[in-house]
Copies of this chain bind each other. A is one copy, B any other.
């Protein structure tokens, strides 16, 4: 048995969550529903123009790993924070959830700070994310512990983490160490605009290294440059062993080996959609490494996603195992 069921690599972020009306987004020049990268001056400008906020640890892959840990899975995370107060918060929350997290801090003297994501939640529950990457952009190959990667049944790579000077090299090192020890590689495309920025690199990695691809409808259609979701799913399925494709309130699809199953979403009042895809992936990977079949993995992914969108914040508050049991999925 390997030490870790899942090891995630991604952008280590603290979420700054505030409620905002639609017109505030327009006034602040924020495009609704997507993730935009911002620099520190813009982060300061935005923060000065939003209402009272709450701070909770976030980061897409970190949310996924928090979900795996919450489920009792053996899991670790790699991502860079600074030795500052937000870095301490991020570190605490991930470890307190039960995940191993040992990436070296950026020094107190680093010019940038711990990354943060200013998330504006509109009354419809949609979130518009404004990400100041800070030190997390500088994750380097030296931050990748090859022994840890070799101890992973699966590694989980966050597409967002492709933005950064040494990210591709860091991912390549992680993939090589994992695969040479018999581990497998999963990737999330993260965001349609992230796909735009990195389509060729993603495509190469998908063809050569990825065993399991997570993507939502928009990301997958962007990846394969088509307006038809079914076409995009088929194209992905031709390149990857397993494709898990989410479709918001329409649920999720899983494709493998010529098979295709659809699992409906759990009807839920949407309070804050932040983290739905992250927790879908966390529950999917956990149940996969627990030996469940792919349709069951997809079902647990949908249940976990429904828990996340029912409250503000991207990490689970309920007992996910109990929820799976209540829905007859476990």
| CB pair B52 A93 closer than 8 Å | yes
| CB pair A92 B53 closer than 8 Å | yes
Out of B57, B85, B93, B94, which one reaches A84, CB within 8 Å?
A: B85
Check if A66 is an interface residue, CB within 8 A of chain B: yes
Instruction: List the B side residues contacting A93 at CB < 8 Å.
Output: 52-53
| Docked CA distance A282–B249 (Å) | 41
Residues 147-168 of A at the B interface (beta carbon under 8 Å): none
Check if A313 is an interface residue, CB within 8 A of chain B: yes
A55 and B55 in contact, given A85-B85, A113-B85 (Cβ under 8 angstroms) = yes
Out of B50, B56, B57, B86, which one reaches A85, CB within 8 Å?
A: B86
Check if A296 is an interface residue, CB within 8 A of chain B: no
Per-residue B-contact encoding for A21-65, CB less than 8 Å = 1, 0 else: 000000000000000000000000001101111111100000000
Check if A330 is an interface residue, CB within 8 A of chain B: no
Interface residue range, chain A: 20 to 34
A96 and B313 in contact, given A85-B85, A86-B85 (Cβ under 8 angstroms) = no
Min CB distance A15 to B, Å, is: 10
Per-residue B-contact encoding for A75-104, CB less than 8 Å = 1, 0 else: 000000000111001001110110000000
Residues 202-227 of A at the B interface (beta carbon under 8 Å): none
| Docked CA distance A253–B234 (Å) | 69
Query: What residues of chain A have their CB less than 8 Å away from a CB belonging to chain B?
Result: 18, 47-48, 50-57, 66, 84-86, 89, 92-94, 96-97, 113, 313, 315
